[in-house]
Structure 1
Amino acid sequence: FVDGNKRVGITAAAIFLQRNGQRLTATNEAVEAFTLSVAQGKKSMEEITAWFAGNTLRRFAVCPPQLCRTAPFGARTGALRLSYKPRHARRSGT
């Protein structure tokens, strides 16, 4: 990647969290500041772990899987969100 490692890293983390029933709740600005501080070596593994623990939410604690539809990447709320589509819907092409 040319100058894209930070974006790829945080996107991979967000996808990993999504696949494991979590979602990021931090604003885009908070994600950017966090990502830059990690890239600059200013965060320890414990601080990184604590940041993710404080900026994630169990997806299904908010709504059932069929209703969890969040806006993509900051639309309307400013929060980094990933869209959720139930597995059965992905398989059927809907």
Structure 2
Amino acid sequence: MEASPLAALLGGVAIGVAIGALLPRTQREAEALGPLGKRLTDGAAAAARAAREAGRQEIEALIPDKDGAKEKATALLGNVAKAARDGARSAA
């Protein structure tokens, strides 16, 4: 302990945490810590919902508008067909 008091302290804390985790919760602990656990759980759930919604919006922003893409493809094909007709008329 004299050579490394910090290691001894950390080892003691780790042993205390392990023993505390193995002991069953008492009714008084449940009463005292229950509301805190509920707030933590509710906060984590809200954060997960917000992250999921933000991710969904990002994905939707990356996906092109289907109707707009269809209109552009139709217009492009129409322009190609018109160019082909005009080219055939010019050649004739």
TM-score scaled by length of structure 1: 0.21
Higher relative contact order (CA 8 A, sep 6+): 1
Q: Identify, as 1 or 2, the structure richer in helix.
A: 2
